[in-house]
């Protein structure tokens, strides 16, 4: 177990370093206007001095080394346009907790709604509950999120009597963003749990349980659900990444002062240092999310043998 754990973590760490390097190199290709507040009024000499100051005129490998050195000290660079000369990490420190809170709430809601939905759809297969659920899933999956988020905001704000401007202390203002962010994952969990439970319910041990005279509900939840949930754990990392992506759109739509909303803002303002910092942070979140998902699956199912995992993917 420990060997597997350390191997898996080391692997993630290596991946992270590669990703950071690639992203860093790619971001060297951006137009340099994004590094200065009033680029249009500057003379070429001033620009050169400015670039030198930021260490951007060094060779690429040297820049990468400097970047990692700074990163070890928790220094993500300095914002130039969004807020002049404030370290990126300081700006992010205010924003990240909000995003995390939103993310956790939406994960909780989507699990609490999505799992029972999938289970009941499997239990009452081909009846009206299953049909309504399938219709819901098709709609959520087929219509782009960018569109239904807009309508939820449009009609939801009237329904809950909340303004368009987000107020962080009022719980009413959290309802709509959390619902919007959960919908995609609810459909996701619902669809896969239904599928796995239906597959599982045709197996012999379920027939045996029924033949023994156990009640339908008992078989459903004690036998089928527990087995069907294991492959679902595999999808939790994907669901997690969905949440991360949803947050970019939703935080910006509801002007929630979080990381995702910030990304949209700094992209519009072309602040290169900020974009770099946030993109790197998102890459880390992605790697971490997949790592946790893998570990969770190993813990949930004792049958998955550790260390041999790479063999039969």
**Binding footprint of other proteins on the chain (CB under 8 A):** 11-12, 15-16, 18-19, 22-23, 26-27, 29-30, 138-139, 141-147, 150-151, 153-154, 164, 241, 244-245, 248-249, 252, 263-264, 267-268, 275, 279, 282-283, 285-287, 290, 313
- Rounded Cα–Cα distance for residues 235 and 192 (Å): 9
Rounded to a whole number of angstroms, the minimum distance from the CB of residue 132 to other proteins is 16
Question: What's the angle, vertex CA 41, arms to CA 39 and CA 45, rounded to 5?
Answer: 80
CA 40 → CA 29, 153, 244, 266, distances in Å? 19, 38, 35, 19
- Rounded Cα–Cα distance for residues 48 and 64 (Å): 20
Choice between 18 and 112, CB closer to other proteins: 18
* SS3 assignment, position 210: helix
For tokens 């947050």, what's the residue? 247
Residue 311 tokens, joined: 């063999």
* SS3 assignment, position 78: strand
Choice between 102 and 220, CB closer to other proteins: 102
Choice between 212 and 313, CB closer to other proteins: 313
Choice between 151 and 221, CB closer to other proteins: 151
Choice between 98 and 259, CB closer to other proteins: 259
Beta strands in the chain (DSSP E): 78-79, 86-87
Rounded to a whole number of angstroms, the minimum distance from the CB of residue 100 to other proteins is 16
Widest Cα–Cα separation across the chain: 86
Rounded to a whole number of angstroms, the minimum distance from the CB of residue 166 to other proteins is 15
Rounded to a whole number of angstroms, the minimum distance from the CB of residue 266 to other proteins is 10
Choice between 214 and 296, CB closer to other proteins: 296
Burial group, residue 43, by CB count within 10 angstroms (0-12, 13-18, 19+): exposed
Question: What's the angle, vertex CA 143, arms to CA 291 and CA 160, rounded to 5?
Answer: 90
For tokens 């959390």, what's the residue? 178
Rounded to a whole number of angstroms, the minimum distance from the CB of residue 220 to other proteins is 27
Rounded to a whole number of angstroms, the minimum distance from the CB of residue 25 to other proteins is 11
């Amino acid at each position: 177990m420990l060997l597997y754990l350390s191997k898996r973590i080391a692997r993630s760490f290596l991946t992270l370093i590669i990703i950071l390097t690639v992203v860093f190199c790619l971001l060297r290709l951006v137009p340099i206007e994004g590094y200065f507040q009033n680029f249009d009024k500057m003379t070429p000499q001033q620009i050169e001095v400015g670039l030198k100051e930021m260490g951007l005129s060094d060779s690429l490998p040297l820049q990468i080394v400097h970047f990692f050195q700074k990163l070890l000290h928790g220094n993500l660079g300095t914002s130039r346009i969004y807020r002049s000369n404030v370290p990126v990490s300081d700006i992010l420190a205010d924003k990240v907790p909000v995003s995390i809170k939103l993310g956790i709430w939406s994960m909780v809601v989507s699990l609490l709604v999505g799992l029972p939905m999938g289970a009941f759809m499997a239990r009452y297969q081909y009846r009206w509950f299953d049909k309504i659920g399938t219709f819901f899933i098709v709609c959520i999956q087929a219509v782009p999120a960018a569109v239904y988020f807009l309508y939820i905001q449009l009609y939801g704000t009237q329904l809950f009597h909340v303004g368009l401007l987000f107020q962080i202390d009022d719980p009413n203002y959290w309802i709509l963003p959390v619902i919007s962010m959960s919908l995609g994952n609810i459909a996701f969990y619902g669809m896969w749990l239904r599928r796995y439970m239906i597959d599982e319910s045709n197996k012999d041990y379920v027939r045996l349980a029924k033949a023994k005279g156990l009640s339908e509900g008992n078989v459903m939840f004690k036998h089928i659900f527990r087995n069907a949930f294991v492959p679902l754990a595999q999808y939790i990392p994907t669901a997690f990444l969905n949440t991360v992506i949803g947050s970019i759109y939703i935080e910006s739509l509801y002007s929630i002062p979080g990381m995702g909303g910030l990304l949209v803002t700094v992209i519009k303002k072309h602040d290169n240092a900020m974009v770099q910092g946030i993109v790197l942070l998102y890459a880390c979140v992605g790697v971490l999310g997949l790592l946790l998902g893998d570990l969770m699956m190993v813990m949930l199912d004792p049958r998955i043998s550790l260390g041999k995992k790479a063999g039969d993917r």
